[in-house]
């Protein structure tokens, strides 16, 4: 039996697409669908987060009016995007939501605070961490900001993975 772990940066605008490509690559390599895909939270957490993406986009647009809407949309779609992978695998029954039915389920413990905290973290990370790393971001178009953002997250992932 082979167990493969895939991970992603929670705010990486291309993380969901990279996860999907990785699963397709694994299907090609092994000649079949994975036996299951496990997610670190509950289905209800995914639904609570994913259902608020358009609201987050509106809030980000109000906070960062100089950011192109296309980039804002990509960034807002990182809210719970890991769970989107459950829609790409052949049989939804192959999705394992590790906190489903447990008292430790994020939504049961945190309720609306879960989404509010996620929103706050996204805004803070964008304003205090990502945008300061993109030189002259106010003068870039959406594709350029997206490209630089992805590069920053990939570089950060490599640094964390290699312990540098």
Per-domain boundaries in the chain: 15-162
Give mean pLDDT in consecutive 10-residue pieces for the chain, a chain of 164 residues.
Answer: 74 82 85 82 86 93 94 92 79 72 63 80 92 95 94 78 50
In terms of pTM, does the model score above 0.85? no
CA distance 49 to 28: 31
Question: Within 13 A of 41's CA, how many CA atoms are on the CB side?
Answer: 19
């Amino acid at each position: 039996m082979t167990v493969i772990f895939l991970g992603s940066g929670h705010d990486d605008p291309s993380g969901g697409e990279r996860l999907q490509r990785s699963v397709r690559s694994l299907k090609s390599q092994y000649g079949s669908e994975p036996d299951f895909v496990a997610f670190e939270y509950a289905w209800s957490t995914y639904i609570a987060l994913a259902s608020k993406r358009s609201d987050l986009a509106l809030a980000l647009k109000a906070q960062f009016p100089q950011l192109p809407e296309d980039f804002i949309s990509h960034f807002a779609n990182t809210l719970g995007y890991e769970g989107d992978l459950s829609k790409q695998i052949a049989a939804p029954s192959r999705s394992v939501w590790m906190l489903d039915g447990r008292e430790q389920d994020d939504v049961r413990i945190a309720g609306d605070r879960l989404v509010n905290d996620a929103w706050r973290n996204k805004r803070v990370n964008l304003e205090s961490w990502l945008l300061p790393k993109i030189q002259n971001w106010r003068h870039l178009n959406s594709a350029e900001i997206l490209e630089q953002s992805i590069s920053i997250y990939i570089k950060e992932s490599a640094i964390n993975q290699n312990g540098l």
